[in-house]
Structure 1
């Protein structure tokens, strides 16, 4: 039986068409799966060149997220990927590690991407970054709180301070001041290192005590007492002689010279002399005392003078008119 050329040609064409269909069907598959906000392809899935039918790949949580539930596997079925069942949530960094004298404001939360601020207690200052952020590996940034220090305390003239350490005074430390003997402290006796790095007040001063401060000025009563203690000895003497004139030549009567001497002396029974008063005046510079002594002396002298006059009038000589008797005798003889 002979075969016609047309029949052979048809069979050949059918075989080629079937082969092409098989090749095209074998080459069919899915496109590269796309990730989401918090889901990405695993490293192994990223290394594949194509994703044929029935192939399976694995998804995983993005950096900063962690698996909450699901397996993360998907497959290519009828040129489409199955829905993933993986659920990812943000990683929680938790409260930052506590540090001495440091506090954190975590009101913004502690999940991935959160930003918090660090502050120090009173009397401490922050070194490093003041903010921390939650990253996949944990909190970023390093900070430390160190205590505040004040400058070296100032010295005071004619005084001493209690601070002799080589280090600078720290927050809250007290520096005491004392004055040398003979000096008075003016101001606060101590200063404190404050949280601002400065002292709470200015250092005191040591003021010297002068001679005027040590001595107390004499009161008027004391000056009067000093004047009364001074000794004064005034002396007054007066001598008077009375001689009646002789008009005749006979029977000359001569009045006896009368001498009156009055001596008044006033002395103080209180110990001390004028020299001692003068020394006191020189030391204290009290000039009114000398003036008081002179005034008392003048008053006593005037008093003695008037007493003397009074005595003279009381004891004076009497005129007996004896000098006229010779003349009367001459008239009688006539």
Structure 2
């Protein structure tokens, strides 16, 4: 339909848009028009950040009124952002125009840049990346060292080993791990020297071996020693003749036996019997036995003679 050339005879006012719809014009001069002639067509469109959902968007001036618009618009969907290494998103607020999502990094990584992204007409706005967590360079140990020899900071998951110099003891854990918080999972240890007090304490508590217990039962040698001493006492009794001679013989017998040295005597334990004394007492025992035997024989001989004498005289012997 051709446009009317006389604009004062226009029948339709300028269209009023509502919602997410704006007016567009096919001709440049229409931009300056406030009224539109009968039969003129204009086009409606979706604003920036919205997309056409349905309808053509064309309306026509008919009988001083515009036809009902059929255009519907909806918000632009930005979709999911581009995933970067070790990164994910919390999209609980959606991905449509104006939505804000949170950037999430994997364990051991932290956000560098913006922690949020927002959906605009041009797409997601907000730059971010996930960088690995680092810990401070390990401190230097006094009288010790660590396994870290780089100028760079240890990264998440790396383990530091600690060692002490010779003569020093490590107090604490011998390793520390860089955690996801940027801190070590344990404090650095210390190297302490071994003190003289610790050494003396160790020596004092060392058990001392005890000497073997002495057997309470008498040994055969000890019993023999007691027998010898008893026999010796009987030999010097005044009631037996020849005691002086026996003592003299004992002295000679004792002198003839080599005596034990003082060193041998010191080697003896308490309760041991001197073998020199046993050898020296043997002649005494033999002498005593001989004296007793001679006395018995003399007694029997005396009685025998008395018996014969009594028989000769015709009298009975007196016992």
Superposed pair shares fold, TM > 0.5: yes
> Does the Cα contact within 8 Å between 2:89 and 2:104 map onto a contact in 1?
yes
Deviations 1:285-317 (A, max 9, x none): xxxxxxxxxxxxxxxxxxxxxxxxxxxxxxxxx
Which sections of structure 1, spanning at least 5 residues, go unmatched?
Answer: 1-22, 226-261, 271-334
Q: Distance in 2 between matches of 1:56 and 1:81?
A: 9
Residues 264-279 of structure 1 mapped to structure 2, 5 A cutoff: 265-266=262-263
Q: Distance in 1 between matches of 2:136 and 2:154?
A: 7
1:85 paired residue number: 70
- The answer on 1:31 being equivalent to 2:13 is yes
Deviations 1:143-202 (A, max 9, x none): 122111111101112222110111111111110111222322222110011112111111
Query: Cα 1:24–1:42, aligned 2, differ >3 Å: closer, same or farther?
Result: closer
Deviations 1:97-117 (A, max 9, x none): 111222211122111121211
Which sections of structure 2, spanning at least 5 residues, go unmatched?
Answer: 213-258, 268-319
Q: Distance in 2 between matches of 1:93 and 1:58?
A: 26
2:203 paired residue number: 217
Q: Distance in 2 between matches of 1:144 and 1:220?
A: 67
Deviations 1:23-42 (A, max 9, x none): 99961321110112111011
Q: Which moved more, 1:170-179 or 1:121-130?
A: 121-130
1:181 paired residue number: 166
1:42 paired residue number: 24
Deviations 1:44-67 (A, max 9, x none): 466142411111111111111111
SS at match of 2:262: coil
85, 100, 114: which one aligns with 2:99:
114
Give the RMSD, CA atoms, in angstroms.
3.7
Deviations 1:262-303 (A, max 9, x none): 998346999xxxxxxxxxxxxxxxxxxxxxxxxxxxxxxxxx
> Does the Cα contact within 8 Å between 2:25 and 2:42 map onto a contact in 1?
no
Q: Distance in 2 between matches of 1:25 and 1:154?
A: 87
Q: Distance in 2 between matches of 1:92 and 1:82?
A: 30
- The answer on 1:56 being equivalent to 2:41 is yes
1:131 paired residue number: 116
Query: Cα 1:221–1:114, aligned 2, differ >3 Å: closer, same or farther?
Result: closer
Aligned length: 220
SS at match of 1:178: strand
> Does the Cα contact within 8 Å between 2:46 and 2:52 map onto a contact in 1?
yes
Q: Distance in 2 between matches of 1:44 and 1:267?
A: 140
Query: Cα 1:266–1:151, aligned 2, differ >3 Å: closer, same or farther?
Result: same
Deviation at 1:221? Answer: 3.5
Q: Distance in 1 between matches of 2:195 and 2:266?
A: 37
Query: Cα 1:34–1:179, aligned 2, differ >3 Å: closer, same or farther?
Result: same
2:286 paired residue number: none
Query: Cα 1:181–1:81, aligned 2, differ >3 Å: closer, same or farther?
Result: same
Query: Cα 1:221–1:205, aligned 2, differ >3 Å: closer, same or farther?
Result: same
SS at match of 1:154: coil
Query: Cα 1:217–1:154, aligned 2, differ >3 Å: closer, same or farther?
Result: same
SS at match of 2:96: coil
Residues 257-268 of structure 1 mapped to structure 2, 5 A cutoff: 265-266=262-263
TM-score w.r.t. the length of structure 1 is: 0.57
Q: Distance in 2 between matches of 1:65 and 1:32?
A: 23
SS at match of 1:47: helix
